Structure 1
């Protein structure tokens, strides 16, 4: 029985639909269907993830090794004629470059161009006087920008924000200032993701001013969180923890009856502060902040702050404290579907990878990184994830781990 047939056998035996297997492996249903019918040569990652999801006890991995270990990856199983072969080659060359691997993940962006786009919007060469749009059109533009951030589409987001930042600069009314603060907040988060801290500080400073001028609790919470993140990146952990503590004292009494987004901002602030407290080995403060975040998640919009969101920070705190086993237990306590955004879902998998790296289970770490890449390719290019990949390469200098060297190349890590 070939791999595809065996995959279908175990899927039917375990009563798992193609949709269910897609959720477990992040390979699209069309891809899985072609593999089962022998029309597609699968990646080893699929064999490993499916074997685990379908409780196949190593049989699917063994079938993949037998059928495909010596077959060039990503080639179509059957093709006829030179024209078909050329089409297959071009298609698979694109796939090998990391494009179109799944229906879920976006394409990798050019981070340098994205940073430059945001920099030029935040610090323009010349001052312009944009025409203020209607509140409704501004809200629609913000919704699109938030959607791009949640999907980790940072290049598209930079285009959105480059149009919004000039409008944020001229905001004057409280409602407009609250929206302006959200524009700067998204710009800050994106620049942090892209390791462009100097420009992130500019966006955070402008966001802090707009947030306090607006008086909006959500905007103030988000602005404080941005400062916590930036002080954390500057290794000013004490400052980051203290900002979180003082902001909590001011915000918490006002949250009774507050909007759901304000609760979400508060919980995100607490989650971020918990990481800084853990860096100081202040376990008590870190655990208290995570407890606050858990409570906030009960009042917040799911897409802003869910149980799954908080779990990713619990994983992070456990890793910082050196508790790899606890981090994995937190990971097991939440399913990826409970994390509604691709950006945070990818962070969930990179956190698992870091925990397994700390634990010495390098094969599982690589597998988690490959899944994270399928969810949101841009997250693999972040400094922290690149550091994990570098550590894995050092542990296995000949890189025998499945897919590690190729992953390193895609992440821009020197081999």
Structure 2
């Protein structure tokens, strides 16, 4: 058995497979002969293991050895190792195996700091992630049920924290919400179970939004669970919200066409429904589809979709605030997405015109205002306007301090550090946001 020459992000593959199998660190470690803390270091890339140990982990997580860059030569291995290899590659048709194949077929194993975000491959983890992310642990650790009334209150607080860009707080409070909602769902039936599924779906939607901002591998898992719970709830609005965040994870793993298909197919399901919530969800789906098409280089499709989104947004009653929407359906929101479209399509000059024509104070939340400043910084960065890029980042820090610590934003800051343009205060800014270490 030997390593192939193909470069593989082994920790990312292991983390994704563990998420699909819903295995705890203790379970994986017990099979491979490591403590939970050692397994945490292995899965986070802080500890390496030999091929035989890696093969044992692969066996337990149902990972083909080739996915880990292992070239198994059965003629040169012992009977015991050949048995392990045979078991790993047997392709057993359990439910977990089917889910694993679908997961990897869509490229989820490649999701990681280098593949998901635009930040550096070895960017520092976000605040609160050291020593194991509590959000990730909540996906596997059991918890007592939480009453529906308490779930509703917790979801309201979580949505308020997200809109205010208080991600550190969400990393602390969401784990109990997720595990408690899942326990309540599993302990109930009938209408109560549907309501618990709706609450669980929306909790996972917010968790996915936070995970995407962190460029965390488990964003795929939370998004998948959001859609599963949403479908079980029978709520079309919950399905639309969940489909949107799942498509975002697909886009970030390179599955552009599949993501656009999911978004547009889900949007079609709202055709003919002129209810306020239906129109708002349809708008958000079309906006995300437009940006996704743009990232794939489809200018015609992107512009067609955003025009359709603009028309739908125009029919949403003024002042509507959806129950748990993380993206508002407004004219300003459509303009915001046009900035991202222009940048993705390599037309930053058009992006600048949209950015200068949008009043960020009309954006309803700190999270959306920070998104405007992020897109504005990217536009100026694409044009080589270092000073204006830096000014946008400083404004972002004043608006939503935790946004400037995102891996994708830190990547812009890191580039500015090495720019020949003299920008007063840049080094301290880069240091406190994690983009530069002296």
User: What TM-score, normalized by structure 1, do the two folds share?
Assistant: 0.67
- In structure 1, what is the Cα distance between the partners aligned to 2:331 and 2:432? 31
Tell me, yes or no, if the aligned pair for 2:335 and 2:354 is still in contact at 8 Å.
yes
Matched residue, 2:352: 328
Q: Deviations over 1:353-384 (max 9, x none)?
A: 11111112211111011001111111111222
Matched residue, 2:85: none
**1:254 to partner: Cα distance:** 5.0
Matched residue, 2:371: 347
User: What TM-score, normalized by structure 2, do the two folds share?
Assistant: 0.63
1:169-184 maps to which residues of 2 (within 5 A)? 169=182, 170-171=184-185, 172=189, 173-184=193-204
Tell me, yes or no, if the aligned pair for 1:218 and 1:266 is still in contact at 8 Å.
no
Q: Deviations over 1:244-264 (max 9, x none)?
A: 222222x2325323x42x433
**1:137 to partner: Cα distance:** 3.0
- In structure 2, what is the Cα distance between the partners aligned to 1:395 and 1:343? 28
Q: Deviations over 1:269-298 (max 9, x none)?
A: 222222220122211211122223323434
Which ranges in structure 2 are unaligned for 5 or more consecutive residues? 1-125, 323-327
Q: Deviations over 1:155-193 (max 9, x none)?
A: 212233222112321325323221211011111111111
- In structure 1, what is the Cα distance between the partners aligned to 2:417 and 2:137? 37
Which ranges in structure 1 are unaligned for 5 or more consecutive residues? 1-108
Tell me, yes or no, if the aligned pair for 2:336 and 2:358 is still in contact at 8 Å.
no
Correspondence for 2:273 among 229, 244, 255:
255
Correspondence for 1:359 among 345, 367, 383:
383
Residue 156 (str. 1) matches residue 172 (str. 2)? no
- In structure 2, what is the Cα distance between the partners aligned to 1:266 and 1:115? 36
Correspondence for 1:185 among 192, 198, 205:
205
**1:194 to partner: Cα distance:** 1.0
Correspondence for 1:204 among 215, 223, 234:
223
Residue 316 (str. 1) matches residue 340 (str. 2)? yes
**Taking structure 1 as reference, are residues 284 and 252 closer, same or farther at Cα in structure 2, changes over 3 Å only?**
farther
Secondary structure of residue in 2 paired with 1:360: coil
- In structure 2, what is the Cα distance between the partners aligned to 1:236 and 1:215? 27
Secondary structure of residue in 1 paired with 2:284: helix
Matched residue, 2:422: 400
Q: Deviations over 1:17-53 (max 9, x none)?
A: xxxxxxxxxxxxxxxxxxxxxxxxxxxxxxxxxxxxx
- In structure 2, what is the Cα distance between the partners aligned to 1:354 and 1:131? 43
Correspondence for 2:408 among 384, 401, 407:
384
- In structure 2, what is the Cα distance between the partners aligned to 1:411 and 1:218? 36
- In structure 1, what is the Cα distance between the partners aligned to 2:355 and 2:397? 18
Tell me, yes or no, if the aligned pair for 1:306 and 1:339 is still in contact at 8 Å.
no
Q: Deviations over 1:82-139 (max 9, x none)?
A: xxxxxxxxxxxxxxxxxxxxxxxxxxx8241597111121111xx34x2441x33322
Tell me, yes or no, if the aligned pair for 1:188 and 1:203 is still in contact at 8 Å.
yes
**1:226 to partner: Cα distance:** 1.1
Residue 265 (str. 1) matches residue 287 (str. 2)? no
Tell me, yes or no, if the aligned pair for 2:264 and 2:285 is still in contact at 8 Å.
no
**1:142 to partner: Cα distance:** 0.9
